[in-house]
């Protein structure tokens, strides 16, 4: 499978500039060349106490809960009026929340989308109002009204997961290795890049016969987990194990995150099977403990604090009239090439777990308590 990025740096730069102009000039009613008043200093994109909206999805993993607290604290400390909301009710609730943020005059709207393809109307409202739109962690798709995507590169996350699975299976010494695949929720724009990144590493092993997906479920649609819900992954694994692994060993599982890895491990344990090599993501407390115990092979450190602070720094820059500097190849969202600011995800296994979380107080406390680091 091929990476689906498009590379149009120049267009992206213009898009970014255009997006910023809307936010900076449109919203402050100070078109280029117009004298500004004392209340609106020339360098300022918008008021220092402006409203900032942060629309988060459901609490399907710990990172979102951490993000809520960090956005509340960080935006408030920076002097902004923040509105930070979860969309526990799903995509339609998030649509209403974003419309309300626009009505309340938000100058920047940060969106971790439930379904990044279902927000076209709300993003259009946001842009018409002069707001700057940031896709947070998950790309906003099929819309021209997205200014920036800030995330840990999701395709790279998938590649790291695929590499970790291969490393673990090589150590396990199976030949051929029986594996199963789990993918995230189909409505999350990250789920396909996670899966495709992982499969870019694993598919060659399937093709050369080193790995066998015994269930035959190798397509994203077969492996997807609706709503990222642990219960859905566990039910799928109960069925899959009963049908395919009565006598065969299960050596490895590609899991896109920690929540689903633990769900699969529960099903595997209940089926009386030994623990396979299994990947994850998010560095959730329970999974960090499982890695220390040797029951989960890997996770990914995508430090939420670093990501949230990056977004808050961008917002502070926008307030001052400074446009963000993209650092990756623009990503095609189906309509435009969205400028990206990428952070680098880090793979964590038992080999580096003691040193991988410098500055992350939550995980560092777990490591210290374990007595293993």
Contacts with ligand BGC, residue ranges (CB under 6 A): 60-61, 63, 137-138, 184, 188, 190, 228, 257, 281-282
Kindly tell me which of 28 and 190 has the beta carbon lying closer to ligand BGC. 190
Q: Could you count the other beta carbons within 10 Å of the beta carbon of residue 296?
A: 28
Residue 33: DSSP 8-state: T
Closest CA to 147 of 343, 336, 344, 342: 336
Tell me whether strands 277-278 and 211-213 are parallel, antiparallel or unpaired.
Answer: unpaired
Query: Which phi and psi angles does 286 have, rounded to 5°?
Result: -65, -30
Bridge partners of 53, per DSSP, are: 83, 109
Least spacing, CB of residue 119 vs ligand BGC, in Å: 15
CB of 189 vs ligand BGC, minimal distance in Å: 8
Whichever of 195 and 245 has its CB closer to ligand BGC, that residue is 195
DSSP assignments along 308-365, one per residue? HHHHHHHHHHHHHTPPP---S--EE-SSSEE-EEEE--EEEETTTTTTTTTT-HHHHH
Q: Are 146 and 331 in contact (CB under 8 A)?
A: no
- In 3D space, the residue among 340, 347, 339, 358 whose CA is nearest the CA of residue 302 turns out to be 347
Nearest approach in angstroms of CB 209 to ligand BGC is 32
Closer CB to ligand BGC, residue 5 or residue 273? 5
Please tell me whether the peptide bond between 176 and the residue prior to it is cis, using omega within 30 degrees of 0: yes
Residue among 127 and 138 whose Cβ is closer to ligand BGC = 138
User: CB of residue 89 vs ligand BGC: minimum separation in angstroms?
Assistant: 16
Spatial separation of the C-alpha atoms in residues 117 and 344, rounded to whole Å? 25
The least distance separating ligand BGC from the CB of residue 300, rounded to whole angstroms, comes to 8
CB of 239 to ligand BGC, least distance (A): 22
Parallel/antiparallel/unpaired status of strands 252-254 and 177-181 = parallel
Q: Please, what is the minimum distance in Å from the beta carbon of residue 325 to ligand BGC?
A: 23
Rounded distance, CA 255 to CA 279, Å? 5
Tokens of 76: 């408030």
180/282 with CB nearer ligand BGC: 282
- Smallest distance, ligand BGC to C-beta of residue 217, A: 20
Closer CB to ligand BGC, residue 111 or residue 131? 111
Q: Which is nearer to ligand BGC, 11 or 64 (CB)?
A: 64
Q: Which is nearer to ligand BGC, 147 or 258 (CB)?
A: 258
């Amino acid at each position: 499978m091929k990476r689906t990025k498009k590379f149009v740096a120049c267009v992206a730069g213009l898009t970014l500039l255009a997006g910023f102009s809307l936010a900076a000039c449109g919203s402050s009613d100070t078109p280029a060349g117009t004298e500004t008043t004392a209340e609106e200093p020339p360098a300022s994109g918008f008021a220092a106490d402006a409203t900032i909206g942060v629309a988060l999805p459901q609490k399907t993993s710990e990172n979102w809960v951490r993000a809520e607290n960090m956005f509340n604290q960080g935006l408030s400390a920076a002097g902004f009026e923040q509105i930070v909301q979860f969309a526990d009710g799903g995509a339609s609730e998030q649509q209403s929340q974003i419309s309300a943020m626009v009505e309340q005059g938000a100058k920047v709207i940060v969106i971790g989308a439930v379904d990044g393809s279902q927000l076209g109307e709300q993003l259009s409202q946001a842009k018409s109002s002069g707001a700057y739109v940031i896709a947070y962690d998950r790309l906003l798709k099929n819309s021209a009204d997205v200014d920036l995507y800030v995330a840990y590169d999701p395709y790279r996350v998938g590649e790291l997961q695929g590499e970790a699975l291969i490393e673990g299976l090589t150590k396990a010494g199976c030949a051929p290795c029986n594996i199963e695949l789990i993918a995230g929720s189909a409505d999350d724009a990250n789920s396909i890049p996670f899966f495709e990144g992982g499969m870019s590493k694993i598919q060659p092993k399937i093709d050369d016969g080193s790995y066998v997906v015994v269930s035959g479920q190798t397509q994203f649609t077969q492996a997807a987990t609706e709503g990222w819900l642990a219960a859905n992954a566990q039910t799928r694994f109960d069925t899959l194990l009963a049908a395919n692994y009565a006598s065969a060993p299960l050596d490895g599982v590609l899991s896109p995150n920690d929540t689903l890895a633990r769900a699969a491990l529960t099903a595997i344990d209940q089926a009386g099977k030994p623990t396979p090599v299994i990947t994850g993501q998010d560095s959730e407390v329970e999974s960090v403990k499982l890695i220390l115990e040797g029951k989960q092979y890997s996770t990914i450190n995508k430090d939420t604090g670093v990501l949230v602070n990056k977004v808050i720094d961008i917002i502070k820059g926008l307030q001052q009239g400074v446009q963000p500097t993209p650092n990756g190849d623009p990503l095609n969202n189906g309509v435009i090439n969205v400028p990206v600011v990428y952070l680098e995800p880090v793979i964590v296994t038992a080999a580096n777990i003691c040193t991988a979380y410098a500055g992350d107080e939550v995980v560092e406390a777990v490591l210290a308590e374990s007595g293993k680091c």
